[in-house]
Structure 1
Amino acid sequence: MKRVFANMGWLLGGRGFNAVLSLIYLAIAARTLGTEGFGHFALIIALAQAMVGFSSFQTWQFIVRWGADPDAPGVDLARAREATGFAVGLDLISVVGGSLVSVLVVMTAPLWLDVPRELLWLALFFCVVSLATIRTTPTGILRLHSAYGKATGAEAVQPVVRTLGSVLAWWLMPDVTGFILAYAASEILTFLALWVVAARVQPVSLASVSLRTIPARHRDAWRFVWSTNMSGSLAVAGKQVMILLVGTFGGAYLAGGFRIANQLGVALIALAQTISKAILPELVQSRDGAVEIARRMANIAAMAGVTAVVTAILFGRQGIALVAGEQFTGFYWAMIILSIAGAVELVGASLESLLVSAGKAHVAFLVRLFPTILALLMLEMAIDWKGAQGAGFAVLGSSILAVVGFYVAIVNLRQFRLVVEPDEEGADQRPAPPKI
């Protein structure tokens, strides 16, 4: 638990620094571009992040899972190099495949997305840049070696460059193009910073790049790869695709406002991801105490979630006005609903990580699949009913169903039933489920 909290300290410190600067560059963009311009900007960002989410693999999880020493807590360098080579190979596939898909999506965008035709080339450019700068592999190397401080320092490049770039865009190019170029620069420089730091911790050789070594050693490798990829895609569907569909059904203004509400209200989901990233290496390396670690983190998350929701209720309207301007305060209740969804996700983060650490990523995927599909299918009806608030309720319902599903899945997994109840003759009965 000490190591978990140390890892979380670095991650949360980085998140906090990022959160403060994100409010600054978000405020500059929203106030400079106005409601419609910011909506177009938000849709381009969401499109690029959706392409990355659907095309990329959760390679940091592969490195953490297959790079750890199977016999004792720690890192097996030979296995770590194999896992890293496998991850790099998957990243190359993501870049090529994702770029081709991006071309097709952008070509059809005028049929379904409220973005002017003159900005479509910019959307394609940002999609390709975002794909080429996928950085889950160097992040996985640093997490495997518990180099969270170094990772936090490298990742701090992104908010710093975005803030400076947004100031330059406001001064020299106060339009959507200027702000997209600022974001593109931040992606490139953060990618370079992470790889430089990761290579110093664990040198990477191109000779180790292979898509065969890991599958030959681990029979369930490809199932784990596709399960985590699809789980990541579902997370994107619940976030970026949701913004795109809000723009499709409600227009650029609604998409921009939903983006503001999402940025402020769903900051808790980022916190949930932080908890997940901090505890997964420890769950993998400390299997005997995995349930206890997850239980403690879920309890802490519940308290943090309630605190954050109350804060959003009390100060959310003023926060929206301060960051984005009075024209976006109509999205206050959407922000509250999304903050509650974030609190639910915060509690579920530990449960989902527990499933993944046990090699049950496919179970986690299935648990998320149906609530996400249901939310997307109900989205148009929800927007017609209550606008951005309706979209927020769709997200909230999906989060509640997913977290309940995680709990039920864990209780029913035999390998987590750690308490054995003897029968009257002393023989072991079926183990009882853990108290989570």
Structure 2
Amino acid sequence: MSPKRHRHESSTPLGRILQNTAWLLGGKGFGAVCGIGYLAILTRTLGLKDFGHFSLIFGTAQALIAIAGFQTWRVVVRYGSEHVHNHDWSKFGRLGMLCGVLDALGAVMGCGLAAILIYGFAHMLDLNPLYMNTAFWFCCASLWALVSAPTGIVRALHRFDMAVYVEAVVPTGRLIAALVIWLTGPTVGRFLLAWAAIDLLEALLYWIMARRLAPAAVNLRNFLQWRQALAENPGIGRFFMVTYVGSTLDAAVKNGPLLVVGAWVGTKAAGLYRLASQLSQALTKLSSLLTRSVYAEVARARVSSQAGEFRKLALQTSKIAGLGGVVVVAVAILLGKELLALIGGDAFERGEAILVPLTLAACFDFASVAFEPVLHSTGRAQASLVARLISVVALVLGLVFFIPIGPSGAAWAVALAGAVSYLAMGAMAWHTLRLIDRDEIRVIDAEPEPDEPGSTVE
């Protein structure tokens, strides 16, 4: 039985990217409205100090996810696209189940790290001791809710329309929960408990959806045979490690500064930084949505398109993303202060100095939306990792020089890291596209090394 398809797809790669992004944007547009609502309730009911505690706990969970979450959806899309193209659902299923096992191992490892971090170093973040147990269990729930494998299955099947319905559960649930908590007595613990429960529900629904879309792939038989995926997908171990390290470094750039602000400046500053970060992410939401669509479509183009079409697709998406980034930065400069005051109240107006550089950093990510998929799909994932390493070095240097300024200094350090990452990865992607034009490399899977007949995951 093949995966279910109930919608008409565009005949061109760019058309499919825009079509998939439109589906995601429709769901995220609804989610953004809900998000502004529950964020306003959070900030206004908790106040700057308690919102700072909430932000530090949430940020710690995100940092742990970055370390223990293996981003297996990229592996499923990268290698699974060929299996889907060939209608080999058994191989596709074994690949998905392998990634599901890796998700579970990551969650177990993350829970151990959470115990060490929360109970051993919470004082460094100025975290209220009363919240330590709550913070630990929230981190554990967040780790188990990160089901990357079924997300990859859905994206490899290009069923972004179905993902919209599941992902709407989180913003809807959070808004309803925030309203109930607001009326019954707001506390940091209640908000965290509600957020954790809703995330776990979304994870369960994602697996159910993956099973309904691809019953021939997502089943017990393929789960028991997950080890075969290591031999069926040459180079998967190397690709997994490279993308894992790369995503961890990327997350360090995005989440690390919040923890630095909490430790260096204080809890209130962390709350201010968090709200500005949330708003900058909302303004650049299209970036993450376009990234999902582009990554999946570039992986498809790798196995089904000519080199010229592949290159054209990368250039078109980069131009669209660059134009969108310019618009978003302009909005942040002109309306940032008013938006912060509208959501959080007068106490959060000072976040304008943080919002602009964070939005600028997010827009560098936006403009580079096609770079990493190009490098991954042409067997050059190591190049993207090098670019991530360079950006982390830039972030550390920026924090050293700018953190004395305060939270806005941390934000400018993030902007510096974003600019460096854009330039480095852009240069590597452009060089790769030129090699494709000269037929020096082909848009196919990289051949395994002679001494690596079937990579294994350590």
TM-score calculated relative to the size of structure 2: 0.88
Gaps of 5+ in 2: 1-13, 442-458
Tell which has more relative contact order, 1 or 2 (C-alpha 8 A, sep 6+).
2
Shift of 1:359: 2.6
Q: Contact 1:114–1:248 at 8 Å: present in 2 too?
A: yes
Is residue 2:196 matched to residue 1:184?
yes
Question: Which among 259, 262, 275 is matched to residue 274 of structure 2?
Answer: 259
Q: Contact 1:90–1:211 at 8 Å: present in 2 too?
A: no
Q: For residue 85 of structure 1, what is the aligned residue in structure 2?
A: 97
Separation in 2, partners of 1:146, 1:266: 24
Q: Which amino acid aligns with 1:388?
A: P
Question: Which among 297, 315, 331 is matched to residue 295 of structure 1?
Answer: 315
Q: For residue 7 of structure 2, what is the aligned residue in structure 1?
A: none
Shift in alpha-carbon separation, 1:80–1:246, aligned structure 2, 3 A: same
Equivalence map 1:82-161=2 (5 Å): 82-161=94-173
Question: Which among 170, 174, 180 is matched to residue 168 of structure 1?
Answer: 180
Shift of 1:180: 0.6
Q: Any idea what the Cα deviations from partners look like across 1:204-229, whole Å, max 9, x if unmatched?
A: 22332356322222331111111111
Q: For residue 63 of structure 1, what is the aligned residue in structure 2?
A: 76
Shift of 1:377: 4.6
Question: Which among 49, 71, 82 is matched to residue 36 of structure 1?
Answer: 49
Separation in 2, partners of 1:101, 1:19: 32
Separation in 2, partners of 1:419, 1:192: 44
Is residue 2:324 matched to residue 1:311?
no
Shift in alpha-carbon separation, 1:74–1:327, aligned structure 2, 3 A: farther
Shift of 1:77: 1.1
Separation in 1, partners of 2:161, 2:86: 18
Separation in 2, partners of 1:297, 1:201: 28
Question: Which among 191, 201, 208 is matched to residue 222 of structure 2?
Answer: 208
Q: Which amino acid aligns with 2:418?
A: S
Q: Any idea what the Cα deviations from partners look like across 1:271-304, whole Å, max 9, x if unmatched?
A: 3222121011221121332221111111011111
Separation in 2, partners of 1:62, 1:356: 10
Shift of 1:237: 0.6
Q: Any idea what the Cα deviations from partners look like across 1:193-251, whole Å, max 9, x if unmatched?
A: 21221110013223323563222223311111111111111121112222111111111
Gaps of 5+ in 1: 421-427, 432-436
Shift of 1:81: 0.6
Shift of 1:20: 1.4
Q: Contact 1:265–1:339 at 8 Å: present in 2 too?
A: yes
Q: Contact 2:91–2:232 at 8 Å: present in 1 too?
A: no
TM-score calculated relative to the size of structure 1: 0.92
Shift in alpha-carbon separation, 1:317–1:368, aligned structure 2, 3 A: same
What count of residue pairs does the alignment treat as equivalent?
A: 420
Is residue 2:414 matched to residue 1:395?
yes
Separation in 1, partners of 2:131, 2:32: 28
Q: Contact 2:57–2:135 at 8 Å: present in 1 too?
A: yes
Shift of 1:270: 3.8
Is residue 2:259 matched to residue 1:240?
no
Shift of 1:333: 2.0
Percent identity between the two aligned chains = 31
Q: Contact 2:145–2:200 at 8 Å: present in 1 too?
A: yes
Separation in 1, partners of 2:283, 2:348: 20
Q: Which amino acid aligns with 2:19?
A: A
Is residue 2:73 matched to residue 1:54?
no
